[in-house]
Amino acid sequence: MENPSTPAPRQPVYLDHAATTAVDPRVVEAMLPYFSVAYGNPSSLYRLAAEAKNAVDRSRTTVAEILGARPGEILFTSCGTESDNLALRGAALAARARGNHIITTPIEHHAVINTCEQLAQALGCEVTYVPVDRHGLVDPDAIGRAITPRTVLISVMYANNEIGTIEPIAAISRIARRRGILMHTDAVQAAGSLPLDVDTLGVDMLSLSGHKFYAPKGVGVLYVRRGTPLLPTQTGGAQEGGRRAGTENVPAIVGLATALRLAYDHLEDEVTRLQMLRDRLIAGVLGRIPDTVLTGHPSQRLANNASFVFAGIEGESLLLQLDLAGVAASSGSACASSEEGASHVLTAIGLDTVAARGSLRLSLGRENTAADVDYVLDVLPGIVEWLRAMSPLYAAGSAVAGTGTTPSGASAAPTTGA
């Protein structure tokens, strides 16, 4: 049923940058020659191929500089999911003689969780999921207590893709290094928002995905620290130092490196701008819509992430009504099927399945302005009110089940940056 109070759509407001971003025109321009001019196979020996190989080498150097790594430690992949898969599966296979225990958290992306499940089922690996608190934050000491003599790998995401919480990766890495255990972080959501220096983070492996920071879809990065044992999981040619076979996607690799450089040339200013918009959005939603909870850490969160649960409504219905009003948003990870039910992230932070289905993730990006935020704050309260009026689940003044708090005052707007 259509909400009669929904205004006619204005210029679309895109608030789903955590799902994907538009390719920056400057990135497209950098990519174009490698489709039809310098189109050679980088593994061939003639001049046309050398131009393509040089482009890949320059891109690898650019990414390495931003990560504080060596060029030889940068592998280009097809996406963040492949990077996560290669990190976990490759490290686990390489370490079988030494141990088979992996430590992670229950709020990881499915690219990590499903890979861990397969490793457990197919290879007999043991997996420990260290719980997080109600903000989605994992305790480094809890990670340390989970370590056994058979532990070979720890994988904890840098920042959560649904609720935006930033994890204490450097502290976890110090524990891993003292115990001689490999440390991987899925930094897909962090790229373009947080520093990626691998020595500061202390990680042995780090995953990125180009389409989260205005590069094209279909290209990713896996940083692998020199000396890290990693068994290739995609075999064939000798590309990527023999660790990831397959002809390189030269245009996409050039695009990723260009986009990453653009993001980190202006990181501080853009993060400050997005924090201001995020805080305005969070304060407006919590102030105008009762029985609402901010999910994720109130301050230790990504600069562009505002995520909520609304008592008594279904997230999918909310998204449809927002779309009619010209607002593109998400109820959680774009990689999760609606058939899976409540978000595993939201249930992991203590929400029950009913409350978790009333979630909304608003993720800001370069093109968003204060006018976009104000428009969302104008239309969202009416949509929520209309949906609640039809919902048998909602009773005015009720708490969001699973939080143990009265939602309308549960969380204040953050005042410190991600």
> What average pLDDT score do residues 278-306 get?
97
pLDDT in tens, 69-95: 999 999 999 999 999 999 999 999 999
Euclidean distance between CA atoms 63 and 68, whole angstroms:
9
Query: pLDDT exceeding 70 applies to what percent of the chain?
Result: 89
Q: Average pLDDT of 231-260?
A: 95
Q: Is 252 exposed, middle or buried (0-12, 13-18, 19+ CB in 10 A)?
A: buried
Angle at 222 between CA 216 and CA 226, to 5 degrees: 150
Altogether, the residues listed in the chain come to a count of: 418
The CATH superfamily of 13-21+267-409 is Aspartate Aminotransferase, domain 1 (3.90.1150.10)
CA distance 175 to 139: 12
32-265 in CATH: which number? 3.40.640.10
- Calculate mean pLDDT across residues 139-156: 98
Residues forming CATH 3.90.1150.10 domain(s) in the chain: 13-21+267-409
pLDDT by residue (tens digit) across 349-382? 999 888 888 899 999 999 999 999 999 999 999 9
**Where does the chain hold its CATH 3.40.640.10 domain(s)?**
32-265
Residue 158 contacts by C-beta under 8 Å, 6 or more apart in sequence? Answer: 166, 167, 169, 185, 186, 187, 189, 190, 194, 201, 206
Q: What is the pLDDT of residue 400?
A: 58
Active site residues: 335
Could you write out the DSSP letters of every residue in 308-354? EEETT--HHHHHHHHHHTTEE-BSS-TTS-GGG-S-HHHHHTT--HH
Residues 205-215 have a mean pLDDT of 98
Mean pLDDT confidence for 128-148: 98
